[in-house]
Copies of this chain bind each other. A is one copy, B any other.
Amino acid sequence: MPKIVDHEERRRRLVDAVWALTVRGGIEQVTLRKVAEQAGVSMGQVQHYYSSMQALVRDALDRAVRAVNANIEKAVEAAGATTPEAVLRACLHALISPDQESMRLMRFSLAAAGRAVSDPTMARVLAPGDDELLSFTAGLITAARQERGVELREDARMDADISWALATSLGVDVALGYRSPEAAARVLSHHIDQVLGVLGSGGREATA
């Protein structure tokens, strides 16, 4: 077995080139030649690692999904969140992080979602969360309500659904510059407050 290279590293380079090209000029700029140039390799190498353009874009999307999830987990850890409410807030706020890397991922995800119109496998990031995620989040909401002493309701799952949809939407807006990170954070916090029953009567303090 001669000439052993790190395949994973090669693919990461190529996918990163796809992200960069998409963010800079839209997904229609992602061509074999441009990807090769951006990654500083030859067209041949791109073809060597991906059997087709579609396969490359698909892998780029796969990795984007995993990267977003990793960012969320990282954000939860970084926040040192111990209470369910803190975990909930950290998870949702991770989607609107003004961090360059996060914004890159959101922008690429939006471009990919545009393709979902014709290719159902292309939504993933911006589509509704799956059962597992919603159940987990609903659990957080219920636990947070309990801790706050708020009367419980059976609609936690729906609130989880709404919360992810809103956070995703805000994340796209931030990544495209339609909202400032601060404004998006205020909106998201306001919604979480409402979900957790924090908003009683004109109270302003709520949470940081």
A residues with CB within 8 A of B: 22-29, 107-108, 110-120, 123, 127-128, 151-155, 158-159, 161-162, 165-166, 168-170, 173, 176-179, 186-187, 190-191, 194-195, 199, 201-202
Contacts and interface: CB of A to CB of B under 8 A. Distances in A.
Contacts of A161: 187
Count identical subunits in the complex.
2
Chain A: interface secondary structure?
Answer: helix
Given A158-B186, A187-B162, A114 B118 contact: no
Contacts of A152: 202
Contacts of A115: 26, 28, 111, 114
A112 B119 CA distance: 15
Given A162-B166, A187-B158, A190-B162, A113 B114 contact: yes
